[in-house]
Structure 1
Amino acid sequence: MTTTVDKGFTTESGSRRAERARLLVQPAVVVVVVAAVVAWALLRDNDAIEAQNLNAARLLEATWQHLLITVAVAVIVVGVAVPLGAVLTRSWARPVAPVFLTIANIGQAAPALGVIVLFFLWTQWDGFWVAVLPIAFYSLLPVLRNTIVGINSVDPALIDAGRGIGMSGRAVLFRIELPLAVPLILAGLRTSLVLAVGTATLAFFVNGGGLGELIDTGYKLNRVPVLVTGAILAVGLALLIDWLGAVMERVFGPRGLA
């Protein structure tokens, strides 16, 4: 029995150490790789087309546009999915919860490019918001589903205890149910953000900017350095967003679940 307990403790400790090591190593590796690729792109002997796309100002502009799209998507997803998910866990709204989950599932099941192009054709707009809104719809499901599952997974005894000390239904939701659902909500948000970063490379189809412009230019004009640099920056941004989501899960999750 002693051996079994020792093994369990060692496994748990090793798992925690591995997670901490990953949180330290992942951003460092990403920064080193991205810095090396950007330095290579800027310092190599570029032709006129490559020089037009591979300069510090252009790379910063494309990365900033990509980051803005991701942040805007995150704000919309959290602002819509968390309140909607909380409402759909109330007893009077539960019968319609499958309808909203089905709509969100359709948004994610459909090809991302198709969602963006259909929204463009429907509105006849282009630019930043024509990229952000369809991407937000595409990224909605993980946060909505995890909010519902997280709240529904709260121990009913805790809810009864809250009501027993005189809490209103709203107080129980905000002081007991939502705080305990935070780990699942953050896990869903982490997934949504990674989806948003990847899908944002398609924003250039509707003049939304982002790193997709570099990738498209490099592909169409057969400029491999431009293509590689845009792709590495997009991958690096996705990995950093994933790392940030992992950090948020550790920082904002209940201490007892860490």
Structure 2
Amino acid sequence: MAVNPWILLDTAKVPGGEGDLRLLRRGSEYSIMAGSTSLMNSRMSGSEEALATLSWARIASQPRPHMLIGGLGMGFTLRAAQAILPPDARITVAELVPAVVAWARGPMAEVHGESLSDPRLIIREADVGRLLDDENRYDAILLDVDNGPEGLTRDSNDGLYTARGLRRALRALRAGGVLAVWSSHTSAPFTKRLVAAGFKVEEERVRSRGSKGGERHHIWLASKPRVPQIPAKPPAA
């Protein structure tokens, strides 16, 4: 039986000199690779979509919600968010690699459809970490960059998952907002860092192909308390 081969459509440099991305196609299937690591595949969208739906379930009562999505990729998280967010919502997508946005409008236009023409959407060609400096700006911050807090293909992504990076995310969220982090696997140290930063943490295991099964991926849903937490007083001497 003949094997349908992968065809290389394009390559792109990652800003900062941290390697290349490759866009490949096999029939109607697309893949984005970094070296030998598969970052995303068009046949596996369930966990990326869950990143949006699980986040929305926690901020649905927020008026005029503003969602920040770190990483455009193949647009699964974006399109899931667009399907459920209200007309007055705002969606900001931060994509570090300009070619990924160009692929969405070019060779992968059939995957992205009309999603990039949504009037609620702003695309920023920038590192998502650069968008976390404004206090109380977002109701949800969704991070789907790299393969999670301990599956890095780009060293500078590490700053998003450090104690300092998590404190910046906490400040950038409005009260009651949620930081949602996608990962290919779990990480107990990362859970501890989220709690130490001041988040209330939930964890979900989701299938890479949704109801069709596939690998299990991990999502942290870290909520910012609506009432500031008061540190406990040390016991009297």
TM-score (norm. length: structure 2): 0.23
Higher relative contact order (CA 8 A, sep 6+): 1
**Greater fraction of residues in helix:** 1
TM-score (norm. length: structure 1): 0.22
**Greater fraction of residues in strand:** 2
| Structure with bigger gyration radius | 1
